[in-house]
Structure 1
């Protein structure tokens, strides 16, 4: 029968003292450390790599603007490819590779490579330590040979500076032209009938009973008609900014004179695009006369020009001026007098408030 001794082993704490600290391995000078010609050659190679990167960045920009994005080509072993994308990929790789090779070669051949061990010291540095750090930084600057190899510093700065352009230019160009009046105008205009969405039926003022709600779009921009006449893109743009909610209120509870003047016998029309982040404000509470945005619960008081009474929205919903035509149908009296939807830069810029292109 075997037995096991479970008694924990006792470690002799003096064992660690039996092995002397080996210290740092001896430094082996590189060829560039002892041979000035080798040092100059290494510096030239670093400059070449950084210059290669700069040329790659410039080639990227040239390819971006010169090559047709739809140009196709065939490469043996790969097949048909888009030459525009291939050119952008090759030039971007050239730009990255040049920076990487230049930095690595610089570090391996010219930068200091001695191992240094630093003992722990109190967090508060003495004046002597500060002076020593400054001396070490000065020594590092000199030993990196940047004070002598200004071509490396210039080529590295040029490569890194130009490398930012392929990242910035496509993003900036892809944003499209600067928005102008299209942020201030919708498709509503004087005389356009209010059409029920999505049926496309016009609305007589006499048919709008108190408390009733209609979701309307401008004439010619409703349902399939908008897609067929204007195309899918324009139809979707119209849907995103032209949508309006129409409600008939008791004129006696309307607090704003402007609200009465822009309505018809208590019938008022407001943009459905929430002024917070643009969700459709489509929930109407008949008892409180509140409009509720379902996304973030912004609440607007329809009796007080759709001012915000709760939630993150900061601006009232814009009112659409309406009137009645000769046949008794509700029509727009004008476009909105302010931009619909969330706020944006330059929203209050004079001269653009009414949608000018100036």
Structure 2
């Protein structure tokens, strides 16, 4: 039939076998040739790029200033809808330009002015003291390569932008609530203060609160405050509910804090301060919509689900001579988040 040995896979050359057809080792092609940028060869282009970077940092500074103009020039207590819209625009644009100016400026600086040579470095044996010296030299080389020492325009505008840029965030976080201390221990509630509906300010009689009903309540006089109305409301707002007195389980000393099954609890969640606004009258549960913390009204608003760490503070109430619901005192514990004021 003939000799087919030359056509077999092992002899035809279609399959490589060990030791057969040793190929040349792969050659390292090396780094591609460096292509200088316009700013590397043209002093005018370099100067122009430097001014562009500085301009971007100045835009960041202007953005921060715009933020503070909107933040401090418009007061929420007496602002109109148009003024609030203007404030939102100023805050948004100011923050955007403050962050964008720094980010784009640094990227433009790196792409046009910082050295762009590609280098490779062999790994070496770790020697702590030698590595420390090498690291210090590397940091020094990086600072030198950025050119920040010999480019005062960029350096000064960058420092100005970086100093001002975090200030809007500080202002916004500061406005989230009162500072730590005793500020959350005291509210507008005091002995004899009537419970009134929010926002109308209408006083509430015990007979107005039917079984299963719930009212959003503020202290009488809050709407008449000339200033700091929102801050006081954030601390003093209350949820008023009526349950069957047999469903309540007051702890010793709290037996007279309710009126015929009518109880009042702080509306401010003890997790991060969101308003607890959902009342489920069948289960007598209060739900915070932010993180689903759930409080059981029958057990003095004990936390039964969610991240809240403490029950909602209870406001002791009673009825005055005219039949209106009034506070017996202020809350006997701090309201709101429990970050700093509860042991």
For the aligned pair, the TM-score class normalised by the smaller chain equals: 0.5 to 0.7
Q: Deviations over 1:139-168 (max 9, x none)?
A: 866876829977249877655544333431
Match of 1:291 in 2: 285
* 5+ long unaligned stretches in structure 2: 1-8, 75-88
How far has the Cα of 1:325 moved from its partner?
1.6
Q: Distance in 1 between matches of 2:235 and 2:146?
A: 62
Aligned equivalent of 1:246, options 241, 245, 270: 241
Match of 1:260 in 2: 255
Q: Distance in 2 between matches of 1:253 and 1:94?
A: 59
Q: Distance in 2 between matches of 1:186 and 1:208?
A: 24
Report the 3-state secondary structure (helix = DSSP H, G, I; strand = E; otherwise coil) of the residue aligned with 1:146. Answer: helix
Residue 316 in structure 1 maps to residue 314 in structure 2: no
Q: Cα gap change, 1:203/1:92 in structure 2, threshold over 3 Å: closer, same or farther?
A: closer
Trace 1:299-338 onto structure 2 (pairs within 5 A).
299-300=295-296, 302=298, 304-309=299-304, 311-338=306-333
Report the 3-state secondary structure (helix = DSSP H, G, I; strand = E; otherwise coil) of the residue aligned with 2:296. Answer: strand
Trace 1:150-299 onto structure 2 (pairs within 5 A).
151-152=149-150, 160-175=158-173, 177=175, 179=178, 183=184, 188-194=189-195, 202-204=204-206, 213-215=213-215, 217-218=217-218, 238=233, 242-247=237-242, 250=245, 254-264=249-259, 267-276=262-271, 277-280=274-277, 282-285=279-282, 291-293=285-287, 295=289, 296=292, 298-299=294-295
How far has the Cα of 1:208 moved from its partner?
6.9
Q: Distance in 1 between matches of 2:259 and 2:97?
A: 65
**Paired residues of 1:273 and 1:281 also in contact (CA < 8 A):** no
Residue 21 in structure 1 maps to residue 18 in structure 2: no
* 5+ long unaligned stretches in structure 1: 1-6, 71-81, 350-358
**Paired residues of 1:189 and 1:332 also in contact (CA < 8 A):** yes
Report the 3-state secondary structure (helix = DSSP H, G, I; strand = E; otherwise coil) of the residue aligned with 2:253. Answer: helix
Q: Cα gap change, 1:132/1:243 in structure 2, threshold over 3 Å: closer, same or farther?
A: closer
Q: Cα gap change, 1:300/1:156 in structure 2, threshold over 3 Å: closer, same or farther?
A: same
**Paired residues of 1:186 and 1:241 also in contact (CA < 8 A):** yes
TM-score (norm 2): 0.56
Residue 99 in structure 1 maps to residue 94 in structure 2: no
Report the 3-state secondary structure (helix = DSSP H, G, I; strand = E; otherwise coil) of the residue aligned with 2:30. Answer: coil
Q: Distance in 1 between matches of 2:69 and 2:268?
A: 41
Match of 2:82 in 1: none
Report the 3-state secondary structure (helix = DSSP H, G, I; strand = E; otherwise coil) of the residue aligned with 1:282. Answer: strand
Q: Distance in 2 between matches of 1:197 and 1:89?
A: 36
Report the 3-state secondary structure (helix = DSSP H, G, I; strand = E; otherwise coil) of the residue aligned with 2:167. Answer: helix
Say what the alpha-carbon RMSD is for the aligned residues.
Answer: 5.9
Q: Distance in 1 between matches of 2:91 and 2:197?
A: 47
Matched pairs, number: 304
Q: Cα gap change, 1:144/1:16 in structure 2, threshold over 3 Å: closer, same or farther?
A: farther
Report the 3-state secondary structure (helix = DSSP H, G, I; strand = E; otherwise coil) of the residue aligned with 1:327. Answer: coil
Q: Distance in 1 between matches of 2:304 and 2:98?
A: 55
**Paired residues of 1:272 and 1:282 also in contact (CA < 8 A):** no
How far has the Cα of 1:261 moved from its partner?
3.4
TM-score (norm 1): 0.55
Report the 3-state secondary structure (helix = DSSP H, G, I; strand = E; otherwise coil) of the residue aligned with 1:151. Answer: coil
How far has the Cα of 1:95 moved from its partner?
5.1
